[in-house]
Structure 1
């Protein structure tokens, strides 16, 4: 572990290679060790989210975990190692909704800050969409506490847990 908080570091950081408290914060993403010359880059994590819609309704996932416990979200999650964005979409939708999704469209991406257990992660959230031909019976699973179908006119962006999701839903609203 590099630090409890990446931004605004005031405490010594221990090098993961040599173990000495000699890790220096060079930039917003780069750290180097004065003792062994190890370099660590704290790069953004990749994540996906999907706007699933039917007619004038958007499927909203209620977050079952922090950050944002109880707030609105779009189904999705982090991309696993050795996984493409598309593979992550398919896996996440299956895990969270028990829905097999094979056809979806990339829309855009947004940067985001994801605070988990006092560590601030920077993410790159890729936004996809899919218009369903019918309204399937879905079950909230994994880290989704519940699901709601929300009419376009009843969507409140401030109910969404993350700025990136708010921006994605705003884009979806403007295109529908």
Structure 2
């Protein structure tokens, strides 16, 4: 298990010049006294789709890649630069499921820490209620290898590695 550390604690050397004179310069920033490089550590945006079938079961995917290969996830991914959350989610659903979105509506958001390449990426995961053109004959693609449906109350939260996804499911269960 990777210990969660704020980026101010993770980065000891200036990413611009490599100097050890990379000092904290506020609650969420560091500045290099050697070259003057100044960086603010901000949260990355990610999106997740809440999709139900006709039987009221929720769609989950199985991750085909690390981190958390083989575990359950919600369809979605990171927001690209200059992309809205809605555009990102539509793109991710096309890439992962090969399907177009009929409609989506913002539901909630939760913070998360996503482990990647030995670092912790701080994210804000935005969840949307999504209606697809169809949930029939979907084919897992891109970074997923399976599509599964469960009633939210039946989901084993230990199968979800992301704290944000667990919180989304808990919120869904509270509303029913």
Same fold (TM over 0.5): yes
Alignment of 1:31 with 2:44, yes or no, is no
Match of 1:118 in 2: 118
CA deviation string 1:106-139 (max 9, x = no partner): 0111110111111011001001112568642111
What SS does structure 2 have at the residue aligned with 1:103?
strand
Match of 1:91 in 2: 91
Match of 1:20 in 2: 19
Match of 2:3 in 1: none
TM-score scaled by structure 2?
A: 0.86
Q: How does 1:47-86 map to 2 (within 5 A)?
A: 47-54=46-53, 55-86=55-86
User: How far 1:23 sits from its partner (Å)?
Assistant: 1.6
1:15/1:21 contact within 8 Å kept: no
Structure 1, gaps ≥5 residues long: none
What is the alpha-carbon distance in structure 2 between the residues aligned to residue 62 and residue 12 of structure 1? 35
User: How far 1:166 sits from its partner (Å)?
Assistant: 0.7
Between 72-81 and 157-166, report the one with greater CA deviation: 157-166
What is the alpha-carbon distance in structure 1 between the residues aligned to residue 135 and residue 69 of structure 2? 26
1:15/1:33 contact within 8 Å kept: no
Between 126-135 and 145-154, report the one with greater CA deviation: 126-135
What SS does structure 2 have at the residue aligned with 1:130?
strand
Paired positions, count: 170
What is the alpha-carbon distance in structure 2 between the residues aligned to residue 33 and residue 56 of structure 1? 54
TM-score scaled by structure 1?
A: 0.86
Structure 2, gaps ≥5 residues long: 1-5
2:152/2:172 contact within 8 Å kept: no
Q: How does 1:95-114 map to 2 (within 5 A)?
A: 95-114=95-114
